[in-house]
């Protein structure tokens, strides 16, 4: 309070508290609604389903404006709700999902403890009954019948059956099996996991003439059985399935699908080899006509009698050309040529001794003139296109012309099938020359055996065959080689008595400075004959051969300097190789 004129307080300030008294002007509200919930079917009474909650904005401390109670407006008599907690429970036993699987409930929340004049709010609750395995599988019929043609391929589907099960999901899964019947080995049943059907498939070929029908007793059983519902069982069912086999016109069948026969390659044309037989498996039992598929007998070696099935030779056979003939035989019905059966004839040709032995290769034998008597100079073998049962046994002998040559003998090693030629001869005078004679050829022997045939580093054999080849320098492995360039001097303008001295000195010089010289194996070639000789080459390396037709009698006319050569080559009758 203040003075209006002076605006001064006339008394101290005072504080006033105004309290607003609540009235029931807000209805309860379900903030989480609408609700959905599930409960297993066949649940006992009082099974909790879901709890609902409503809120009231009025003052809960003043009066009953915010005191809410719950009631069910829709969903009775199947469900109930607790007034104070809002918990919804089942109210009836044995609620069956297969009869009704979903319920819509309306729940009310009212303040003022549910008294008259109170405000209320509602929400919906959708309750779904979940499945349990309370229904066994059941076949709609106690027997089924299916017709199938006898030509149905193996593993084909014969029929599909299904036992009804009101349950769903894993509770409806089942297994099928054959528990009785005469088709256990012929048919089998399996379960289609997608459709839960029993699939009957064929395991062996059907034959109307052998058996015209099959009967099966099939059982369907639930895979997942709930022990608390065993009293509703048994959870299996059986049915009878009859399979009727329909007759189909089939092609002829050979008594034996593979016929094995033998015939000698010496058999004359028209020789009977064997007989095949086929029959019509149908009840009509039509007559059969036989033929050969000529695509398997292009050269027409064989014939078959169209009526009797007798197979005979049509051409001369040769085992060495074809030892086994694999031909396809055809059998067709006389009344219906489109019905063709097939069989196989395997004809083996027996061997006879109709081929002479042949030498394995063409032999060309070389030997040194100083070969020792009795030395083996060639081993010879033979081959034969024939194949005797106990293996080949060859006999070797020299021809009459060769047998008269006493320089060579033959030894037959029998089982070894080898021809061994040995040499015997008279002792030959050694090639000794007088030191005073003018020798045009010298062989320098170092008694160095070298590294054998596998030693390719020792020397180049081409040097023995071509004296004009310049040898490639071989690098020693234990020293660092110096690159040397060698040049061959021309000897054409030098006198004969100097040619050979210069040639030898050049070769010795090369050997001294050659980095590939000993201690490694080496070959020094001194076989140089000079140039311009009217007698041309007199080297024994070139002239000494078994097939030479050269006449050396003229050497005796050249004077004493060629007497030794004339003695060696002049008389062909004394030749070692005569």
Q: How far is Cα 75 from Cα 79, in angstroms, rounded to an integer?
A: 6
Contact 45, 93 (CB under 8 A): yes
CATH class entry, domain 138-246: mainly beta
Strand order in the sheet with 69-74: 35-40, 120-130, 102-110, 69-74
Instruction: Tell me: cis bond preceding 452? Omega within 30 of 0 counts.
Output: no
Which of 144, 141, 182 minimizes the C-alpha distance to 160?
144
pTM > 0.75: no
Q: How far is Cα 305 from Cα 495, in angstroms, rounded to an integer?
A: 95
- CATH 2.60.40.60 location in the chain: 29-130, 138-246, 253-350
Q: How do the pLDDT tens digits run along the chain, 578 residues long?
A: 999 999 999 999 999 999 888 888 889 999 998 999 999 999 999 999 999 999 998 888 887 888 899 999 999 999 999 999 999 999 998 899 999 999 999 999 998 888 888 899 999 999 999 999 999 999 999 999 999 999 899 999 999 999 999 999 999 999 999 999 998 889 999 999 999 999 999 999 998 888 999 999 999 999 999 888 888 878 999 999 999 999 888 899 999 999 999 999 999 999 999 999 999 888 778 899 999 999 999 999 999 999 999 999 999 999 989 999 999 999 999 888 899 999 999 999 998 888 888 888 888 888 888 888 888 888 888 888 888 777 777 888 888 888 887 778 887 766 743 444 455 444 444 444 444 444 444 454 445 455 454 444 444 444 444 444 444 444 444 444 443 434 444 444 555 556 767 777 777 777 777 666 555 555 666 565 555 544 555 544 444 444 455 666 777 777 777 777 777 766 544 433 33
Which of 341, 344, 292 minimizes the C-alpha distance to 313?
292
CATH code of domain 29-130: 2.60.40.60
CATH code of domain 253-350: 2.60.40.60
In 276-429, the DSSP E strands lie at: 278-279, 288-292, 302-304, 310-313, 324-333, 340-350, 358-359, 376-380, 382-383, 408-412, 419-423
Q: How far is Cα 164 from Cα 140, in angstroms, rounded to an integer?
A: 7
């Amino acid at each position: 309070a203040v003075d209006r004129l002076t605006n001064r307080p006339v008394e101290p300030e005072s504080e006033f508290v105004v309290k607003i008294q609540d009235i029931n002007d807000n209805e309860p509200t379900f903030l989480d609604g609408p609700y959905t919930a599930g409960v297993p079917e066949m649940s006992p009474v009082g099974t909790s389903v879901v709890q609902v909650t409503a809120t009231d904005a009025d003052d809960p401390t003043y009066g009953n404006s915010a005191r809410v109670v719950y009631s069910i407006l829709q969903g009775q008599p199947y469900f109930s709700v607790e007034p104070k907690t809002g918990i919804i429970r089942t109210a009836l036993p044995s609620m069956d999902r297969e009869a009704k699987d979903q319920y819509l409930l309306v729940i009310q929340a009212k303040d003022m403890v549910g008294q008259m004049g109170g405000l209320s709010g509602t929400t919906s609750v959708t309750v779904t009954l979940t499945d349990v395995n309370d229904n066994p599988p059941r076949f709609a019929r106690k027997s089924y019948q299916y017709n199938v043609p006898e030509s149905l391929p193996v593993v084909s589907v014969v029929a599909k059956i299904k036992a009804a099960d009101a349950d769903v999901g894993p509770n409806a899964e089942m297994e099928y099996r054959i528990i009785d019947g005469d088709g256990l080995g012929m048919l089998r049943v399996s379960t289609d996991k997608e459709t839960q059907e029993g699939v009957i498939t064929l395991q062996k070929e059907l034959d109307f003439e052998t058996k015209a029908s099959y009967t099966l007793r099939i059982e369907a059983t639930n895979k997942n059985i709930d022990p608390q519902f065993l009293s509703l069982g048994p959870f299996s069912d059986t049915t009878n399935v009859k399979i009727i086999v329909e007759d189909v016109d089939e092609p002829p069948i050979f008594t034996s699908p593979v016929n094995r026969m033998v015939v000698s390659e010496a058999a004359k044309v028209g020789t009977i080899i064997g007989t095949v037989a086929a029959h019509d498996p149908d009840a009509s039992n039509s007559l059969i006509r036989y033929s050969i598929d000529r695509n398997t007998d292009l050269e027409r070696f064989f014939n078959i009698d169209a009526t009797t099935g007798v197979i005979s030779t049509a051409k001369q056979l040769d085992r060495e050309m074809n030892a086994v003939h694999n031909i396809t035989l055809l059998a067709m019905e006389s009344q219906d040529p489109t019905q063709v059966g097939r069989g196989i004839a395997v004809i083996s040709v027996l061997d006879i001794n109709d081929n002479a032995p042949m030498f394995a290769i063409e032999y060309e034998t070389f030997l040194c003139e100083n070969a020792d008597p009795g030395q083996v100079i060639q081993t010879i073998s033979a081959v034969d296109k024939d194949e005797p049962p106990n293996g080949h046994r060859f006999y070797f002998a020299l021809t009459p012309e060769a047998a008269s040559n006493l320089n060579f003998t033959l030894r037959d090693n029998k089982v070894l099938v080898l021809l061994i030629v040995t040499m015997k001869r008279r002792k030959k005078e050694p090639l000794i020359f007088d030191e005073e004679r003018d020798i045009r050829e010298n062989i320098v022997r170092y008694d160095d055996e070298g590294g054998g045939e596998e030693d390719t580093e020792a020397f180049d054999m081409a040097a023995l065959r071509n004296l004009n080849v310049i040898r490639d320098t071989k690098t020693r492995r234990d020293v660092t080689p110096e690159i040397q360039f060698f040049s061959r001097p021309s000897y054409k303008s030098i006198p004969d008595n100097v040619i050979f001295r210069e040639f030898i000195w050049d070769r010795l010089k090369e050997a001294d400075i050659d980095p590939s010289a000993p201690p490694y194996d080496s070959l020094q070639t001194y076989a140089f004959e000079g140039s311009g000789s009217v007698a041309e080459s007199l080297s024994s390396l070139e002239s000494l051969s078994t097939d030479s037709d050269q006449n050396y009698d003229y050497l005796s006319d050249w004077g004493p300097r060629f007497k030794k050569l004339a003695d060696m080559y002049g008389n062909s009758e004394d030749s070692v190789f005569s």
